[in-house]
Amino acid sequence: MPPKNPPSGSGQTPRRAPPRTTGKAPTDSSSSSVDYTVLPIKAQPAGGTRRAPARATSKPAAPAAPATTASDFQQLFAKSTAASAASLPQSAEPPPDVAHAAPATATTARAPIADGVPAQYDDGIQWFLAGLRRQRAGVVIALIFAWTGIWIALWGGAIGLVLGPLLVFGFFAGTNLGSDFFNLGAGQAVTVIAVVVGVFLGAAGGFLVVLKFFVLDHPIQAVISIASGAVLAVVIIIAIATFERFTLRARGYRRLSRDEARRVAPVVKAAADAMDLPALPRFAMAEMILPNAWTHMRTIVLTTGLLQTLNDVELESILVHELRHWRSGDAVGLHLVWACAWPLAALINIGQLLVGNAPKGIPLGKKAGGDIVRGVLMITGYLMAWPAIVITRFIIVPVTAASQRRCEYEADAAATAIGLASALSSALPKITAYEGGRTGWEQMMASTHPPTELRLEALQAKRDDDEQYQEDELRSTWADISRFLHALWHHSSVKLSGGQ
């Protein structure tokens, strides 16, 4: 269920960390980065909402930073380890409206364990466990449903769904009671009842028979299968994190151009200083006209449409949101869910490939031949993917959404805490209409985001009449159901007994 919306607009503005300079210039253009710490913050456009000014200090002003040179732009915003070694002031306590959020950043700067990994984690195990804590329920459910043969049991249920009505109708028609109903002219009612009963009994019976064969009769094998899936998921996560730049390039993403870096780097600097981040992820660009941004384990991907649509203040609010996801390990958690459920994800993606990308011009000599091939591919894709689609859409996605929606609200609250609630409220409607994914699995998981209108509500300042207009969530408890059934039964009983 979606978490309680965090209040907005009432917290104090945390102290912004002073700019930090690097101690060593990059030497290799393939592994060096833009030194955003020496870049000036761009003037914001008129009308943009900015955070409250930083509190004055008694320290004398630092000397002006040297002019930025071309060598400063050779990397993509990942801080060097020398910059991370500089000490930082104590981070301010989070305001009450974000006290429930994910663990805060470390209070002292230190070098990250690897490029693109948040600096507060001492080793890869802590980073991995942080992601696991964010999506522990989704990980467990994905392992159980992807590695125990439950998705195969759905095929048993489908077969029972077809055979059940035939068996029930044949059994009922062969009895004296069934013959009497037919003689009375109630054959149509008998047919409908037989179909309904057969559907439920057949589907449940077929599912349980296959489930018994794969799981209940071999519990040790099921446990071993789940453990094997967990080990394989860890291997997949390590491989993805290690070769993330390669996989992103294979998906069609690219580095930022110099002009894009000149636009984005000062905004990243402002966000990093406001959040007291001692290290940053890598950045990549997707050639998409749709405005969007998303976080991988070590990289934040921006679209060209995002830079064309948002002003600098709105862009900073989106970057703060994504940086919060990155720092909290949310991307690691979602990748863990995918890795644990990769047999299901593979079936969904292959099915989508056959259904959505069936060839349109196969040279078979006749157009009818091409239509037949496309039809066969679509049917094959649906038959291959439907069990995985059912499990993912109705089980894995709801479980994952319960945690992911809380993560989204926390990331929004991070922008609110530094005075960017208005900017984020302006940016969200421009990008959430285009949220989706490149694969079938990603498209399904996109629905784990909370509704945009409720996110905007959480960003609003508190008003005196909020409680008066606060609606309950669309969910029912057993207490609500029992009260309704009791009232319905009591009212019916009174009417039947002739009472008032």
Residue 282 and residue 301 in contact, taking contact as beta carbons nearer than 8 Å: no
Rounded average pLDDT over 82-96: 36
The reported pTM is 0.72
pLDDT tens digit string along 1-17? 444 444 444 444 444 44
Confidence of residue 179 (pLDDT cuts 50, 70, 90): low
Mean pLDDT of 144-164: 90
Q: One-letter amino acid identity for 276? A: D
Q: 379-425, pLDDT tens digit by residue?
A: 888 888 999 999 999 999 999 998 999 999 999 999 999 999 999 99
Count of CB atoms within 10 A of residue 347's CB? 23
pLDDT of residue 397: 93
CB-based burial label for 119 (10 Å; 0-12, 13-18, 19+) = buried
The pLDDT tens digits for 185-213 are: 666 666 777 788 888 988 999 999 998 88
436-469 pLDDT per residue, tens: 667 778 888 888 888 889 999 999 988 888 888 8
